[in-house]
A = this chain, B = another copy of it.
Amino acid sequence: MGNENAPLSLREKQRKERLELLLQVAEEVFVEKGYLDTSMDEIAARVGIGTATIYSHFASKEELMVAAILEQNFQKNTQRVVEICSDAEGNATNKLTRIFHFLVSSDFFRRRVEMLYILRGNAEAQRALLARQEKITTSVETFSQTLTALIEQGKATGELQTSTPTSAMVKAFIGLIRTQGITDTLISKYSASNDEILQVYLHGIATHEQ
């Protein structure tokens, strides 16, 4: 009966609810308008709070963005990945396929990469990232370990090659997802679907015995 479950006072409850709403709205606006064209005033107005109130939750615009993009979704995404891996049915390839589709559709990585690009070279942003990093360490760890375990299972069952290091397979997998994010005229002309791209990857890590 830890008191973290103790009933929050009305004030605290309202504050917590507003924080969640703030994060949700912030994410929406950042995604809709991009970092540059999003102003703190607009976020506050949409939430229905004073601009200054945001600063009682987050020290800077950068910190708000990091929180909105990272914290908002990472835990949920990680949880879903774990669920997929825990499924009794399906082999490694099948599970990787499901994870791939889920993560591409969740848009999480697109936002994450966008954030990383935008905040690159911004000293304050680096600090914000660090300040918030620990809050998602658990998710990062779980996410990584889950993927690693999945691939090693695939190797153990002979489904995946053992000649390619697991780390390379994981890294390539994440890269594969990240790449789906942004539209580029250079590649938009290629009609290939996400599925076809995934096939190249799966083929690349699979064993090819007769």
Residue A59 at the B interface, CB < 8 A?
no
* Residue pair A199, B168 in contact (C-beta under 8 Å): yes
- A172 CA to B192 CA in the complex, in Å? 9
Give the chain B neighbours of A174 by CB distance below 8 A.
184, 186-187
Stoichiometry, as copies per complex, reads 4
A-B contact pairs, 13 of them (CB 8 A): A34-B122, A35-B36, A113-B184, A114-B120, A143-B186, A167-B190, A167-B192, A168-B196, A171-B197, A172-B192, A175-B197, A178-B184, A200-B204
Cβ-neighbour of A171 out of B185, B190, B202 (below 8 A): B190
Shortest distance in angstroms between A165's beta carbon and chain B's nearest beta carbon?
A: 6
Shortest distance in angstroms between A99's beta carbon and chain B's nearest beta carbon?
A: 14
Residue A33 at the B interface, CB < 8 A?
yes
Residues of A161-191 contacting chain B, CB below 8 A? 161, 164-165, 167-172, 174-176, 178-180, 182-187, 189-191
- A196 CA to B168 CA in the complex, in Å? 6
* 6 closest residue pairs by CB, A with B: A204-B204, A175-B179, A208-B208, A168-B196, A168-B192, A34-B121
Give the chain B neighbours of A129 by CB distance below 8 A.
185
Assuming the A-B contacts A167-B190, A196-B168, are A117 and B182 also in contact, with contact meaning beta carbons closer than 8 angstroms in the complex?
A: yes
Assuming the A-B contacts A164-B203, A200-B204, are A121 and B172 also in contact, with contact meaning beta carbons closer than 8 angstroms in the complex?
A: no
Shortest distance in angstroms between A195's beta carbon and chain B's nearest beta carbon?
A: 9
- Which residue of B is nearest A192, CB measured? B168
Assuming the A-B contacts A164-B200, A171-B192, A175-B179, are A185 and B113 also in contact, with contact meaning beta carbons closer than 8 angstroms in the complex?
A: no
